Amino acid sequence: MATIQKRKKSWRVQVRRKGGTMSATFDTKAEAEAWAIATEAKILAGNGVENIVQEPIAPIAGKAAKDVFTRYAKEVSPGKRGGRWEEIRIKMLIRRSRLFDRPITAITGPDMAEWRDKRLCKVSASTVNRELCLISSMFTHAMKEWRVGLTCNPCALITKPRKPRPRTQRVTIADRKAIITQLGWNETSEPTTSAQWVAFAFYLALETAMRKGEILSLRWSDIDFDARHAHLDMTKNGDERDVPLSKAAMTLLRIVKEPEPAAPIVPVQTGHFDKLFRDAKREAGLSHIHFHDSRREAATTMAPKLSNVLELAAITGHKSLSMLQIYYKPTPADLAARLDA
């Protein structure tokens, strides 16, 4: 049986089993409990107290939060979808805040609240929520798997920023033409430059409601021209999906002559893609347009052509009506015209 007692700034644990006694002192209660469990298990397995070698537990509780975060980036993030971007975010979090130089056990709820408020002065509430979610995951994993001496996750002690209203931005014909003009594409010729491929991808998104990442993941072998669909092996929600291709989408894809089956449909790396699109929309005076707005535009224009919301969800890949509502944004004039049809 183990007895754990607080002694000033340390925790003393004593294990009594089979007539023998062992004791040790640790910086945190969590480390003391872990040692007690491991020691009792060894004794119950048949080892006498005199034969047990005391193995010190790694003092992770005294480590700086940034060191624990770095370990998470190396050991946990690579096993996730989007792990590369998570590693980049973790490095950014460490670099931008001195808070994470402190021992991980010294970070409190008020500390995280102060961090939240400072970040809100620089970035949107959505960004802060994403970062808080990541930080919370790192605290939770460290508590469960690495015996960090925290009694609770400090992120759970604060209120997350209120989510902003969902975007309602549509992409007009004039908007899309202005952007592809800046990217140097004429809508009909096979793209030859990276900028033109970005324009091509933007038009494909407007015709299919596919996400940017989904388009960049596609290879020509994923396109079934006979059955008129594009196969997505992995999507944001973790499922595969077959995206039906309209006549306009088919015409767009057939602009490319004799593509290699194993080649990507859009041969541009994500980072370069983002920069090209960002620069083009700025030069066109359309900084308020996001590439992802093409998904809303596509879903909204598709909806009247379909018989029910389930068909639209099958195309976009949404699993809930509440999420689909964010992307279906008809104008009052459009709805009024349908009432008179």
* Same-domain check for residues 183 and 148: no
* Same-domain check for residues 74 and 220: no
The whole-angstrom separation of Cα 231 and Cα 105 is: 47
Q: Which residues are marked as active site?
A: 211, 236, 318, 327
Domain-ending residue, one of 35, 57, 79: 57
Domain-ending residue, one of 11, 31, 57: 57
Q: pLDDT tens digits, residue range 77-126? A: 988 877 888 999 999 999 999 999 999 888 999 999 999 999 999 999 99
CATH number, position 280: 1.10.443.10
* Same-domain check for residues 84 and 181: no
Helix (H, G, I), strand (E, B), or coil: what is residue 7? Answer: strand
Instruction: Note whether residue 105 is domain-resident.
Output: yes
CATH number, position 70: 1.10.150.130
Closest residue by Cα to residue 168 from 285, 329, 312: 329
Q: Residues 188-224, buried b or exposed e (16+ Cβ, 10 A)? A: eeebeebbbbbbbbbbbbbbbbbbbebbbbbbbebbe
- Six-digit token pair at 200? 């091509």
Instruction: Note whether residue 166 is domain-resident.
Output: no
* Same-domain check for residues 123 and 137: yes
* Same-domain check for residues 29 and 110: no
Token pair 């970040």 in the structure block, residue: 119
**Alpha carbon 153 to chain centroid, angstroms:** 20
Structural domain count, the chain: 3
The whole-angstrom separation of Cα 56 and Cα 67 is: 20
Instruction: Note whether residue 162 is domain-resident.
Output: no
Instruction: Note whether residue 230 is domain-resident.
Output: yes
Instruction: Note whether residue 165 is domain-resident.
Output: no
* Same-domain check for residues 89 and 184: no
Residues 6 or more apart whose Cβ sits within 8 Å of residue 139? 104, 148, 150, 153, 154, 155
* Same-domain check for residues 50 and 68: no
* Same-domain check for residues 139 and 202: no
Ordered per-residue pLDDT tens for the chain, 341 residues: 678 887 766 677 887 766 667 777 776 677 777 777 777 777 776 655 445 444 444 445 568 999 999 999 999 998 887 788 899 999 999 999 999 999 988 899 999 999 999 999 999 999 999 999 999 999 999 888 887 777 789 999 999 998 888 888 999 999 999 999 999 999 999 999 999 999 999 999 999 999 999 999 999 999 999 999 999 987 777 778 999 999 999 999 999 998 999 999 999 999 999 999 999 999 999 999 999 999 999 999 999 888 888 889 889 988 888 888 888 888 888 788 878 86
Instruction: Note whether residue 78 is domain-resident.
Output: yes
- Residue type, position 110, single letter: P
The whole-angstrom separation of Cα 124 and Cα 69 is: 23
Host domain of residue 42: 2-57
Instruction: Note whether residue 168 is domain-resident.
Output: no
* Same-domain check for residues 100 and 230: no
* Same-domain check for residues 319 and 209: yes
The whole-angstrom separation of Cα 13 and Cα 100 is: 30
* Same-domain check for residues 71 and 47: no
> How many residues does the structure list for the chain?
341
Token pair 């707005």 in the structure block, residue: 293
Domain-ending residue, one of 123, 157, 191: 157
Instruction: Note whether residue 190 is domain-resident.
Output: yes
